Amino acid sequence: MGEGDTGDAENIISEEEVMRYRVLARPYPHTQQAALTRDVEIARVTAKRTLESTDENLKREVEVKRAAAEMERLRAQDVVKATIIRESKQQAADALAYELNAKAKADWEAGQRAADTDAYKTRVSAEANQEASQRGADTEVYKSQKASEANAYKTRVTAEANQEANQRAADAEIYKNQKAADAEAYRVRVTAEANQEASVRSAEAALVKTLKEAEGITAMADAYGKLSVAFGGPAGLLQYMMIKDGTLVELAKANASAIRGLEPKISVWNTGNQGSGSESTDVMRNVYQMLPPLMTTINEQTGITLPEWQFGRLNAAQGAMTESNVNGAGKKK
């Protein structure tokens, strides 16, 4: 695109824009006309810059295509030269590789033959050594097996002997313990039977003793009952027992011991008429009349109080006898 084309485009745009803005500016005031004129100028400058930018882009594309064509031409020349050089070098390398390959193959075949020979010798020697080692190992295994069998037989025989000895010892210990247990059981049974027999006999003896004691007590009670009847009642029996056992003497001794070193109160009394009655009854009457004053004196001087069943009844009997004047009047000084 030439410069004449650019000028024609600018003239065309400018005339169209001018005509349009003129038509639009007619009915408006001067201010709007100035704004429209400014817009027209801006549009003209923008169109000019757009045309210039498009022209530069087209020129750059042409130069790029021209450089690419030149590069392809130069590359084709270099490729042809490089291909010729590479093919010549490839042929030389192939020839050298063939020679090296043939030589290496010959060397490899010679080495392979030597290696096969050495391998055969080594294999034969190894087989011979292996055969000898196998025979030696078999011999050692046979010896070890026989020694193991001998040791196992010896161990088994020893274990059986020890087991039999232990079994016999255990049987003897069991028999001994059983006999000891039987003896202990027999001893315990005999002891239990003896203890039972002794307990039965002791119980029977205790029963017989108790029965005899009961019979003796019963007989004694019957005798005391008869004595009580003979002495005119329990009071007479009590007086008889006290005289028989020396109780009155003991009381007199106790009284003397109690008033020894003191100033005791001395009471003298008359037991009554001594002329009436027989001699035996007078003695009993005097003793019976003497007891109440004696008990009173013991109580006053020592503080000892005899039981009610003794002192009370005797005192009451003494009072009754005094009031009735059966045995005479008593007199104290």
Question: What is the pLDDT tens value at each position of the chain, 333 positions in all?
Answer: 444 444 444 445 566 666 666 655 555 556 777 777 888 888 888 888 888 888 888 888 888 888 888 888 888 888 888 888 888 888 888 888 888 888 888 888 888 888 888 888 888 888 888 888 888 888 888 888 888 898 899 998 999 999 999 998 999 999 989 889 998 888 898 888 888 888 888 888 888 888 888 888 888 888 888 887 887 888 877 778 888 888 878 888 887 787 776 665 555 555 555 555 556 677 667 776 777 777 777 777 777 776 655 555 555 555 554 554 444 444 443
- 2 sits in the region (left: phi over 0; alpha: psi -120 to 50; else beta) called beta
Q: Mind listing the pLDDT tens digit for each residue in 280-322?
A: 677 667 776 777 777 777 777 777 776 655 555 555 555 554 5
Q: Mind listing the pLDDT tens digit for each residue in 225-256?
A: 888 788 788 887 777 888 888 887 888 888 77
Concatenating the DSSP letter of every residue in 123-163 gives HHHHHHHHHHHHHHHHHHHHHHHHHHHHHHHHHHHHHHHHH
CA atoms of 161 and 96, how far apart (whole Å): 90
CA atoms of 110 and 314, how far apart (whole Å): 166
CA atoms of 53 and 59, how far apart (whole Å): 10
- DSSP bridge partners of 332: 269
CA atoms of 311 and 300, how far apart (whole Å): 13
Alpha-carbon Rg for the chain in angstroms:
84
Question: Whole-model pTM above 0.85?
Answer: no
**Backbone CA torsion sign across 77, 78, 80, 84:** positive
HSE-CB for 1 with a 13 A CA cutoff: 14
CA atoms of 319 and 144, how far apart (whole Å): 133
Entry field: residues in the chain: 333
Q: Which residues contact 10 (CB under 8 A, 6 or more apart)?
A: 44, 47, 48, 51
Distance, first Cα to last Cα, the chain: 198
Place of tokens 């745009």: 13
- Beta strands, E only, the chain: 269-270, 331-332
